[in-house]
Structure 1
């Protein structure tokens, strides 16, 4: 199971979206902000990449061997907790597990001593960029175009989906995953 902390909307994101969509004033900010956050979530799902750095958690079975975290890119592991069948949560010592980086900024983890835990939760900081402003230009443009699409088609149930240009801008950032 994978969970990301919600991404907060900052003024730089909203200002750039407002300028891109040529929206004057804050009247449209709630719907524009919702469209922007939906665009980021959609792009993260499509690319399999956490775009803007934030806390996240991933739960794995506590079995031996190396396991790849689906979170990517992982900046740091901030805590590891074992979870028993009864639901008790026990922090694991640093010598009870290992982490190795992969070649594509993914993280591989291995449980050495899980104790009575049948699952292990990894608390991490994950994300490609520290902030909206540090995202690569092609990603930001893809997100802005997707935001524009979501915003302008918010009441169109027969909408055919995002434009092909959005897919083209996001595709180079897509991580392949073979599980």
Structure 2
């Protein structure tokens, strides 16, 4: 199971001005560095949480056909909308699955299942493609406050430790960001 990002988010989950206020930095000398740190911290926290913070369109490829008795948990979350479900045909093209034949649970623990029989070729790799909208919302202000605070702490840690080689400390743990977002972390057993 994998996913591909089709569109970039409309905004970063943090504003440059709030990062500068948090760090008590005046002037614009480090603005480009702050932008890079926001992007790095966002990528790090999204990977840690398995979540898209700001909305974007994604394709999710499943390696099996989930049926109603065993729905598939999706690899990216939260999922706000499922736009299309398609099955791969023998010639490699995609055919839409009727919406009424799909069971979908949105949110932080998104799941999908097909309610009827779907024919796929034996041995077909990634026979199912989902088109979805992933993220907490369209803009930075839809990201939960505790996640935004964790991002601020992570950016601050990366900024104050820039250039440090150190002992390879995990920035998520050292900054306290990991502890802040622990309730949003998806744990698989």
Q: Does TM, scored on the shorter chain, surpass 0.5? A: yes
Class of the TM-score when normalised by the shorter of the 2 chains: 0.7 to 0.9
In structure 2, C-alpha distance between the alignment counterparts of 1:32 and 1:166, rounded to whole Å: 17
Matched with 1:161 is 170
Which consecutive unaligned segments of at least 5 residues does structure 1 have?
none
| Structure 2 CA distance for partners of 1:26 and 1:89, relative to 1, 3 Å | farther
SS in 1 for 2:4: strand
| Structure 2 CA distance for partners of 1:101 and 1:94, relative to 1, 3 Å | same
Match of 2:80 among 69, 75, 78: 75
Q: Deviations over 1:133-174 (max 9, x none)?
A: 232222111101101122333322325232252122111221
In structure 2, C-alpha distance between the alignment counterparts of 1:139 and 1:176, rounded to whole Å: 17
Measured after TM superposition, the shift of residue 34 of structure 1 is 1.4
Q: Is the contact between residue 11 and residue 54 of structure 2 (CA under 8 Å) also seen in structure 1?
A: no
Q: Is the contact between residue 10 and residue 139 of structure 2 (CA under 8 Å) also seen in structure 1?
A: no
Q: Does 1:120 align with 2:128?
A: yes
| Structure 2 CA distance for partners of 1:116 and 1:105, relative to 1, 3 Å | closer
Question: Where in structure 2 are the equivalents of 1:31-46 lying within 5 Å?
Answer: 31-46=33-48
In structure 1, C-alpha distance between the alignment counterparts of 2:43 and 2:120, rounded to whole Å: 35
Matched with 2:182 is 171
- Aligned residue pairs total 177
Measured after TM superposition, the shift of residue 48 of structure 1 is 2.1
Q: Deviations over 1:96-132 (max 9, x none)?
A: 8413216854122327454446321111101123321
Which consecutive unaligned segments of at least 5 residues does structure 2 have?
none
Q: Is the contact between residue 52 and residue 131 of structure 1 (CA under 8 Å) also seen in structure 2?
A: yes
In structure 2, C-alpha distance between the alignment counterparts of 1:32 and 1:173, rounded to whole Å: 25
Question: For the aligned residues, what is the CA RMSD?
Answer: 2.8
SS in 2 for 1:18: helix
